[in-house]
Amino acid sequence: MPPSPTTTPQTLNDNETHLDSDVLIVGAGLSGIGAVRHLQDHSPQTRWSLVEARGSLGGTWDLFRYPGVRSDSDMHTLGYAFKPWTERKAIADGPSILRYIQSTADEAGITPHIQFGRQVLKADWSSAKSCWNVTLKLSNGQLEHLTTRFLYLCSGYYSYTQPYQPDFEGQATFQGTWIHPQFWPSNLDYSGQKVVVIGSGATAATLVPAMATTAAHVTMLQRSPTYMVARPAEDALALKLQRVLPERWAHHLTRWKNIGVGMYFFRLARKYPDKVKRHMIGLTQQQLAPGFDTAKHFTPRYKPWDQRVCLVPNGDLFKALNAGRASVVTDTIERITPTGIVLTSGQHLQADIIVSATGLQLNALGDIAFSVDGLPYQPAQALAYKGMMLSDLPNVFMAMGYTNASWTLKADLTAGYVCRLLQHMQRHNYSQAVPRRDPQVQAQPYFDFSSGYVQRASKVLPQQGDRQPWRVYQNYLADMVTLRWSRLDDGVMQFTASSKAAPSSGAGGVNKAD
């Protein structure tokens, strides 16, 4: 389908300001490319622009280049509903996912219209003109200014430039190679080297078996264990369906099967956490050699799904441990030495390479400085509306995925809602849409998650409310009902016609004190 990129600027009603686009999409990763495709299919008259801060598309799947980088979700749900995943591996590697995103953009004619090397620095909303005035920084350092009716943030929720890196005592004295996975050096040769990977999340679980194939030895040093679940990299049912059914039917049946299975086990874990924990630990024990201390190294202190569960495709991590190519140490770091790490227990881990897989640094709204009619907007003071807009922030959408399922499931639903809302506004000649916060709604954390990266970001992330439509569901079916079929004009979303733009109330996220 042909794209609908920005063409001739549009004049706003009753003034001389021009719109450079109807919708400015920020981020050309999995969410951003999907957002454009939805606009093409369901709101073809909408003029869009797509900007990307980096020099290439792909987002996460182009940024991360560490050994073995892969999805932590199956590609039948991490992929788009409109584009079947046809490769054999359902738990796919990063390069395969990047090719999938690239082919989606190429097939839809999106790629030539992506404006690379453009980082959005700030955005100021004008109620009088019903538009966003956006400032971008180009790759050459120059600034660019443009106007748009809507902003659609598809830049994820973590910083691409600043990962989380604890300050370990003695770190500067280490004489080997120190790496954070977010900035993996392309020329690193770790063959025959002793490697220590600090961390126990999805990145560490991926790095350890991948590096263990050629390194002398790889040690996963964890402060506390994480739930690790072995799963086949290939989906047997999906492969069978692909042989007997049309491609799209096989994709949708597999997608719904995986959605259903994921929701079932999540609800089971919430309802019977102790039983599910015993079952999961038992499955892990079956993967490990007799005598392995599963209680110490693979029995978390928290309940299942209080943090994200790590997938181990084909049990590769457990195979590396059983073969002696890798090991797990559960302890805390006392200090870094020139040749390794001294632990609180007194043990010294020799290392030629230390990989600090210590996590991400979350941000809010892509680190864009927002203001509404000149007043700074504070995301941490706002409530999330249906998990995809913020209170008292006009004409801004954000793609935010699930913590207990694939990111794209929610991103697809959000894109569908955006198209519905745009069509509704065009039919009624509305220029502004803003969810207004009810003072009686009580604020709660946006993520009901105990992971360190979430807790560290609690002061910058928006919040959710204690009732609809301010609840953030980690549930695909609940969101499907809310975003596909609920009323757009629900009494919370306030619309303003083009001819009479009302000023913002300043409630919610706008901080007048600043």
For residues 393 and 381, give the distance between their C-alpha atoms in angstroms, rounded to a whole number: 11
For residues 320 and 210, give the distance between their C-alpha atoms in angstroms, rounded to a whole number: 9
Residue 499 has a pLDDT of 57
Residue 11 has a pLDDT of 40
Residue 446 has a pLDDT of 84
CATH of the domain spanning 171-235+274-356, picked from 3.50.50.60, 1.20.1070.10, 3.30.830.10, 2.30.140.10? 3.50.50.60
Residue 260 has a pLDDT of 96
* CATH node for 10-159+362-497: 3.50.50.60
* Alpha-carbon 368 to chain mean position: 17
Q: Which two tokens stand for residue 99?
A: 């090719």
pLDDT means per 10 residues, the chain with 514 residues, are 47 56 97 98 96 96 95 95 95 97 98 97 96 97 97 91 90 97 94 97 96 98 95 95 96 96 94 96 96 96 90 96 98 97 97 94 89 95 95 96 91 97 96 94 82 71 91 92 93 84 38 31
The total of other beta-carbon atoms located within 10 Å of residue 87's CB is 14
For residues 196 and 212, give the distance between their C-alpha atoms in angstroms, rounded to a whole number: 11
Residues of the chain with CATH 3.50.50.60: 10-159+362-497, 171-235+274-356
For residues 483 and 417, give the distance between their C-alpha atoms in angstroms, rounded to a whole number: 5
One DSSP character per residue, 466-480 reads SSTTS-----HHHHH
Output the CA torsion 363→369→371→377 (10° steps): 30
Residue 101 has a pLDDT of 98
